[in-house]
Amino acid sequence: MLTMPNTCTALLSTSQMAEADRLTIAYGISEITLMENAGRAVTEAIMQRWTPCPVIVLCGPGSNGGDGFVVARRLAAADWPVRIALLGPLDQLRGAAAHHAALWHDPIESMTPDSLDGAELVVDAIFGAGLSRRVEGIAAATLSAAALRKLPIVAVDIPSGVMGDTGDNLGAVAAVLTITNFRKKPGHLLQPGRALCGELIVADIGTPAFVLDQIKSGAFENDPIIWAELLPQVQDNTNKYKRGHALLVGGYPSTGAARMAAHAAARSGAGLTTIAVPEIALPIYAATLTSIMVSPLAAVADLEKLLADKRFSALLIGPGAGIGPTTRAYVMAMLKTGRPTVLDADALSIFREDPAELFSAICGPCVLTPHEGEFARLFDVGSNKLTRARAAAQTSGAIIVLKGSDTVVVAPDGRAIINANAPPTLATAGAGDVLSGIILGLLAQGMEPFMAAAAGVWIHGAAATAFGQKLMAEDLPDLFPAVFTQLQSSPSLGMHHVCDDIR
């Protein structure tokens, strides 16, 4: 099994973060010091972005509220006008939170929506990522009132009501800035949590890096620092066959999806790309593709003959393939080879009546790239995105690329990568076809499938970001070379600023 290092891209669940705190305290850094450091990081982030203005700090009854008391004390020491509104009785605070509350010598209000009167900035230190229930009552009313008044909200750890492990929203309102500690949590990246966090900062509060070796996170934020060194490189003594031969099946009458996928495979570095298409569609494909070879298909036997050529190093079917028995037969023929295979779109939907037939046929490296609708046709949809994707990968024996603005890439062994660089402009017809094509191209060149899927997703997002507004899917492949060039010159371009924040 290919392992992944515990880098600054590691994501920690709420229980893992609690364990990190426990290990840190055992190491000799007290909870009081950790809370002081967390509050200092929030204070510094606020002072870097706003000039002094009236602030209301909304403090909850736990550790998150303790962080809020530190924020209030430090802002007041810098001559900011600050008030504190507390949820619940003061004497219910315990441990480090009680210690820091005792250092606040000004009045403490009981939290109500009226606490917001006169404030120009709100600090949400009510509940952290460990909350497991809906925000209700006075806390919910106060947060809703802050949103209604359009007051900027700074969230401590995570907006109150966002579930740290899933990103689910149980009563949160949007923050403009969120400051968390040591490592992000899945809920910071999974929607709708990601959208509710606003700008996200990861602060160093003194947690030693060695604790990751003991926790061993299995989830990571997608970034080149994970896979850039594994990207295929062109060698001096190479030839087109050594660079891989990608084979995909195109459909008819829909031809655009497969053509975009083929273009993406070629642009991602495959030495040769062949697209096999129904004979009736041969003139359309041949007239619109130049360096990409086109081969006619009249029957399954024609595909089997192509597949007998072992120089085809990776396979793709789905974009524009059509839903019918022929597509099913082509999928089975491809999977039977045991070569790396990408299944997308129609190649997934065709098995909606019997997903087990598909799963039992997977005998080699396989990447499934469903959007939520296609996923629901094959797998259980009764839980959060990360849990669903992990279960699907284990059930199918394939790598799952569950697409969306928060695409999740999961291996059958449970390793997970959450992508966060996809701009909203990727919500356009054909973008998924291009994604399957770039993964095909990387697989054809011999890249390990889990990392190829993660790299393809990130490069896809980076290209879209580089293009900007009014993106069409066919714009994407020609942007890939510039992204690859930048990756070669600076493989840590995605995360270096985050690493700096948490060192």
Over residues 81-99, the mean pLDDT reads 96
Q: Read off the tokens for 30.
A: 């007290």
> pLDDT tens across 405-437, in order?
999 999 999 999 999 999 999 999 999 999 999
pLDDT of amino acid 38? 98
Clarify whether residues 148 and 48 are in a common domain. Answer: yes
Which of 379, 373, 365, 380 shows the shortest CA–CA distance to 346?
A: 373
Q: Which domain holds residue 176?
A: 10-221
pLDDT tens-place string over residues 329-357: 999 999 999 999 999 999 999 999 999 99
Average pLDDT of span 452-459 = 98
* Rounded mean pLDDT, 446-457: 98
Q: Is residue 238 part of a domain?
A: no
pLDDT digits (tens, 9 = 90+) for 203-243: 999 999 899 989 988 999 999 999 999 999 877 787 787 78
Q: Is residue 83 part of a domain?
A: yes
Q: How confident is the model over 41-56, as a mean pLDDT?
A: 98
Strand partners, 59: 86, 125
Segment 85-109 mean pLDDT: 96
Strand 82-86 versus strand 55-59 pairing type: parallel
What number is the average pLDDT over the span 472-477? 96
The pLDDT score that the predictor gives to residue 491 is: 54
Residue 473 carries which DSSP code? Answer: G
Mark which of 221, 251, 282 sits at the end of a domain: 221
> Do residues 292 and 400 share a domain?
yes
Helix (H, G, I), strand (E, B) or coil at 274: strand
- Asked if residue 251 is part of any domain, the answer here is yes
What token pair was written down for 183?
């490592």
Contact between 174 and 195 under an 8 Å Cβ cutoff? The reply is yes
Instruction: Indicate whether 201 and 260 sit together in one domain.
Output: no
135-193 tens-digit pLDDT = 999 999 999 999 999 999 999 999 999 999 999 999 999 999 999 999 999 999 999 99
Residue found under tokens 């192509």: 306
Q: Is 226 part of any domain? A: no
Single-letter residue type at 287:
A
In a domain, 491, yes or no: yes
Q: 90 and 199: one domain? A: yes
pLDDT class of 497 with cuts at 50, 70, 90: very low
- Report d(CA 245, CA 45) in Å as an integer: 50
Looking at the DSSP assignment, which residues form a beta bridge with residue 247? 274, 315
Q: Confirm whether 232 is domain-assigned.
A: no
Cis amide prior to 208 (ω within 30 degrees): no
Is there a single domain that holds both residue 275 and residue 158? no
Whether residue 456 sits in one domain with residue 370: yes
Bridge-based pairing of strands 312-317 and 293-297 is unpaired
Residue 127 lies in a domain: yes
d(CA 457, CA 328): 26
Q: Which of 2-16, 74-88, 193-207, 465-479 has the lowest mean pLDDT?
A: 2-16
- Phi first, then psi: give them for residue 380, nearest 5 degrees: -70, 140
| Number of residues written out for the chain | 503
pLDDT beyond 70 at 494: no
pLDDT recorded at residue 373: 96
pLDDT at 80: 98
Contacts of 371 (CB under 8 A, 6+ apart): 402, 403, 404, 432
Under 8 Å between Cβ of 23 and 211: yes
Q: What is the DSSP letter of 171?
A: S
Residue 254 has which token pair?
A: 């829909």
The per-residue DSSP string of 175-219 comes to: -SEEEEESS--HHHHSTTHHHHH-EEEEE--S--TTHHHHH---E
* Domain boundary residue, one of 172, 191, 221: 221
The residues that bridge with 30 in the sheet, in sequence order, are: none
Angle at 159 between CA 155 and CA 163, to 5 degrees: 145
User: Quick one: CA torsion of 369, 374, 375, 380, rounded to 10 degrees?
Assistant: -160
Is 311 found in the same domain as 183? no
Contact 261, 316 (CB under 8 A): yes
Instruction: Answer yes or no: do 284 and 334 share one domain.
Output: yes
Q: How confident is the model at residue 503 (pLDDT cuts 50, 70, 90)?
A: very low
pLDDT of residue 496: 41
Instruction: Please report, rounded to a whole number, the percentage of residues in the chain having pLDDT higher than 70.
Output: 96
CATH number of the CATH domain containing 169: 3.40.50.10260
Same domain? For 194 and 274 the reply is no
Domain count, the chain: 2
What's the pTM? 0.93
What is residue 237's predicted lDDT score, i.e. its pLDDT?
80
Judgement on whether residues 271 and 161 belong to the same structural domain of the protein: no
Domain boundary among 221, 255, 280: 221
- Residue type present at position 307: L
What's the confidence (pLDDT) of residue 493? Answer: 54
Q: What is the mean pLDDT of the chain?
A: 94
Residue 243 has a pLDDT of 85
Q: Which helix (H) or strand (E) holds 161?
A: none
Q: What is the pLDDT of residues 267-289, one digit of tens each?
A: 999 999 999 999 999 999 999 88
Q: List pLDDT tens digits, range 362-384.
A: 999 999 999 999 999 999 888 89
CATH number at residue 352: 3.40.1190.20
Position 368 in a domain: yes
pLDDT for 495: 47
Domain check: are 264 and 362 in the same one? yes
SS3 for 400?
A: strand
If one counts every other C-beta atom within 10 angstroms of the C-beta of residue 383, the result is 12
Residues 268 and 152 occupy one common structural domain: no
- Rounded CA-CA distance 238/253 in Å is 37
From the list 334, 38, 308, the residue with the least C-alpha distance to 182 is 38
Share of the chain above pLDDT 90, in %: 89
